[in-house]
Amino acid sequence: FWQGSGKLAGKVALITGGDSGIGRAVAVLFAREGADVAIAYLSEDRDANTTKQAVEAEGRRCLALRGDVSKRAFCRKAVEQTVKAFGRIDALVNNAAFQVHSADFADLTEQHFDTTLKTNLYGYFHMAQEAVPHMKPGSAIINTGSVTGIEGSKDLIDYSMTKGGIHAFTRALSGNLIGRGIRVNAVAPGPVWTPLNP
């Protein structure tokens, strides 16, 4: 059982895909360390409410933001609402992702491909671009990567492409923002249950 020690006291984190799985764990543990948390989620209201209650049980505030990170307008709105509610953003955790296993390459439709790219790449890009103007030196962007972005996965071709792109985006953005004192890192946590990854 993790005991918080106030490492994030007074900080604010915006976490995409925060309704379940990795995002929920990050939200709760950030709250345990003293951060107020905003979670962006697609449509799982019950899961988002469970996360909100868990964050509040740690004595912190939680803002639940329902919307699609593949849409730039939602990313802008999520950042604006987070800043309005909490006054700042110190950490952005880009975690929302879409994946569907497809054993046969021929079964990978253009619609499926577009959804994967727009959620996993556009979502990270737009959310970061909207958040950065509000971030001060010492802030951090954490992108959820994957070993599939390094080694590939025969059943997750499009997902593997996006995770490789996220790794490159992370390195490139890190170099771009170093002068502003904003850290950008990727974490590859491994398979974790989510509603999209049973």
32-51: average pLDDT = 96
Query: Domain of 63: which CATH number?
Result: 3.40.50.720
User: Catalytic site residue 122?
Assistant: no
Q: Write down the pLDDT at residue 191.
A: 75
Domain ranges, residue 183:
12-187
pLDDT in tens, 56-94: 999 999 999 999 999 999 999 999 999 999 999 999 999
Domain count, the chain: 1
**Residue 198 banded pLDDT, cuts 50, 70, 90:** low
Q: Is residue 119 part of a domain?
A: yes
pTM: 0.94
Q: Is residue 64 part of a domain?
A: yes
Q: Is residue 122 part of a domain?
A: yes
124-139: average pLDDT = 98
Q: Is residue 2 part of a domain?
A: no
d(CA 84, CA 81): 5
Q: Is residue 195 part of a domain?
A: no
Q: Which two tokens stand for residue 53?
A: 């209650």
pLDDT in tens, 141-177: 999 999 888 998 999 999 999 999 999 999 999 999 9
Average pLDDT, the chain: 94
Q: Is residue 47 part of a domain?
A: yes
The residue from 41, 122, 124, 159 that is catalytic is 159
Q: Is residue 3 part of a domain?
A: no
Q: Is residue 96 part of a domain?
A: yes
